[in-house]
Amino acid sequence: MGSIVVDTRGMPVQILILVFTVLLLGAPFSWAKDHFDEPDAEKLVRVATLTNNPPFTFDKRFAEKVQRETIPPGLDSDRLQGYSWDVLRESYHEMGYTIQLYIYPWIRAFDQVKAGKLDILFPTGFNQERASYFNYSKEAINHVDFLIYIKPDAKLRWNGLASLEGKTIGVLRGWNYGLEWERQSRIVKYDVGEILQGFAMLDKGHLDGLAGYELNFDYALQQANWRNHYKKLPVFDSTDEFAVSAKKNPDGEKLLGVFDAGKRRIVEKGIFYKINAKWQGAGVQETNAEQPY
């Protein structure tokens, strides 16, 4: 941007005063505008997550589908909401960190953090494969229970995951369902892109069941006023979910430590309990096995 040149020859004193006053007042606003998106690099964390994962991370109603936002302490995302987002945001903001938020499909978010291009991925369940390339926070963000949804008239006698041998079960693409699920080689696992897509395929008979995260899937059905009802088989596994960073990221462990410290602080200050109340206990383990939904 070029400099402004003012020719003052022959101008009345009052006009000169006015011109210089405008220039002086305008300078701070110009500087602020030019530097708003340039947070202190020492207290900046680049975070990736997904949407369509209620009540943990999902879009605000009518929000613009922006993929990147810069969110300093005291502010919130224009697009993202949810229990897990509130926990992560408040934890980093408590430590004075500005968040650069990237909202991507899960596979892309996962790959960006795994490659070290972004710092933190959340919320992320634990498994041995992921532990080979991710470091995990010590503090959990939320808890999930894994179970299978089936149609109410389905004739299936439950005897653990072995009951599903030869059945076609929908799974959310790229989602973690625990070690026991990974060991099942005789279940036909069919990838679906979104929660409601999976239920629609179950309704049409394309799937024998849908493997889900209980709280997330129940919440998605409720928010969509879904017409059909399902039977939930008993919980077959569960996990806490965390913030993770790539082992190859030189700042990863430090940024996870910042999150851990911030999470402990918001617990001490009561902020965490307000988040839990806001989302009606979304972070607390809840089990409703074999109950229709």
Q: Which of the four pLDDT bands, split at 50, 70 and 90, describes residue 27?
A: very low
Summarised one tens digit per residue, pLDDT across range 215-233 is 999 999 998 999 899 999 9
Q: What is the pLDDT of residue 283?
A: 55
Q: What is the pLDDT of residue 145?
A: 96
Q: Bridge partners of 53?
A: 57
Task: State yes or no: pLDDT of 132 exceeds 90.
Answer: yes
Summarised one tens digit per residue, pLDDT across range 233-271 is 999 999 999 999 999 999 999 999 999 999 999 999 999
Q: Where are the domains of the chain?
A: 41-142+241-278, 144-238
| 36 CB burial (10 A radius; 0-12, 13-18, 19+) | exposed
Which of these, 106, 60, 148, 100, lies nearest to 255 by C-alpha position? Answer: 100
What homologous superfamily does CATH list for 144-238? Periplasmic binding protein-like II (3.40.190.10)
Both tokens of 106, joined, read 């899960």
Q: 41-142+241-278 and 144-238: same fold?
A: yes
Class of domain 41-142+241-278: alpha beta
Contacts 24+ apart (CB under 8 A), 125-128: 125/176, 125/178, 125/239, 125/240, 125/241, 125/242, 126/176, 126/239, 126/240, 126/242, 127/176, 127/178, 127/179, 127/182, 128/179
